[in-house]
Amino acid sequence: MADEEKRVKKYEWARGALAAVVVLLMAAFLLVLSSTFYPVGLGPRQPIPFSHRVHVHVKQLSCLMCHTTVTEQRRAGIPPLQTCLLCHQRIIRTYPYIEKLRQAFAQGKPIIWQRVNWVPEFVYFDHSLHLNKGIDCGHCHGNVAMMDRVVAARKFEMGFCIQCHREKNATHDCFTCHR
Ligand code: HEC
Ligand code: HEC
Ligand code: HEC
Ligand code: HEC
Ligand code: HEC
């Protein structure tokens, strides 16, 4: 009798463990699935909580006002603090983060923004070439205008780049991107 009970207990324990493993696996699977197809959400926390939604969607600023080199150079560029101060010398100047910004500027200290998007070093990418072909920022970066913290909207895998190069008859010679 005692033996029988022990066996039943063992069985129940094993069943419980199995169920837990299945649930964990399903959760992991869903997490991978959702992060592959819906990479929305919040990007990394920044030293100053700059919001694209507030500046682009609400205040209607152009991307080019801050990412000034995007149509001429490889890099889009991150604006210097002077650009922020064009407005924030006056606008909400006593808000703590804006005070931090003004202080950093006065002391000549840069703000170190966390990087969000990148390709590996062995990949050559150039913004200006793409923008001059009329490709929208959103194709590669998603709807930045609605982001409070920029998140990497696309994975810059080789297939992502090559698929559009095929569609647009751009070169897909290996040495174009790996030089
Ligand atoms: C008022 C200035 C300003 C405007 C306007 C602006 N940005 Fe930005 N952008 C920044 C700053 C500052 C950062 C760095 C901090 C951050 O990531 O939020 C940044 C970061 C980014 C990044 C992430 C860079 C990385 O590390 O990978 C992308 C992508 C981007 N901006 C795209 C856009 C697009 C697209 C628009 C227009 C729809 C736009 N930005 C308009 C100031 C601006
Ligand atoms: C063209 C003017 C302009 C520029 C340039 C500008 N801002 Fe702003 N910013 C505003 C306005 C307007 C608000 C909204 C103020 C309010 O809510 O009363 C704002 C709000 C903010 C806030 C408050 C929090 C929030 O998101 O509501 C922060 C932080 C901020 N800006 C940071 C920055 C930084 C960092 C830069 C430079 C990369 C920058 N701003 C460039 C106009 C500007
Ligand atoms: C064809 C795809 C594509 C388009 C279109 C595009 N970007 Fe990018 N962007 C990238 C890639 C790829 C990176 C990472 C580059 C790297 O690591 O060198 C990047 C990086 C950035 C960065 C980080 C800083 C930098 O310069 O590397 C900013 C800011 C940015 N993009 C803004 C923009 C803005 C603003 C637009 C539209 C005016 C835009 N991008 C259009 C693919 C694109
Ligand atoms: C939405 C479409 C699109 C995407 C996505 C795209 N490209 Fe392009 N790319 C183009 C087009 C169109 C051209 C041709 C530009 C020209 O002929 O001047 C081009 C040109 C280039 C060139 C220059 C080719 C030359 O002739 O020198 C490089 C390098 C490049 N792309 C790299 C990349 C990389 C790396 C990625 C992915 C991170 C990428 N591209 C994603 C459309 C795209
Ligand atoms: C339009 C741009 C583009 C072209 C053309 C291209 N690649 Fe790539 N390649 C990339 C990008 C972007 C990555 C980085 C992928 C990542 O980080 O996941 C990459 C990564 C790689 C890697 C590293 C392994 C990997 O998959 O991460 C190898 C190897 C490679 N490419 C070989 C080639 C060869 C061979 C060709 C020619 C048949 C080629 N590539 C053409 C953009 C390109």
Neighbour tally for 87: CB within 10 Å: 14
pLDDT tens-digit profile of 31-81? 665 554 444 578 999 999 999 999 999 999 999 999 999 999 999 999 999
CA 78 to ligand 1 center in whole angstroms: 7
**Which single residue is written with the structure tokens 């609400």?**
58
Structure tokens of 176? 């174009």
State both tokens at 128: 């200006």
pLDDT in tens, 121-165: 999 999 999 999 999 999 999 999 999 999 999 999 999 999 999
Amino acid identity, position 170: A
Q: Which residue has the tokens 């969000």?
A: 116
What distance in angstroms lies between residue 75's CA and the mean position of ligand 4's atoms? 14
Pocket test for ligand 4, best of 164, 171, 174, 179 (most atoms within 8 A of CB): 164
Cβ of 120 below 6 Å from ligand 5: yes
- Count of C-beta atoms within a 10 Å radius of residue 151: 17
Distance CA 167, CA 44 (A): 33
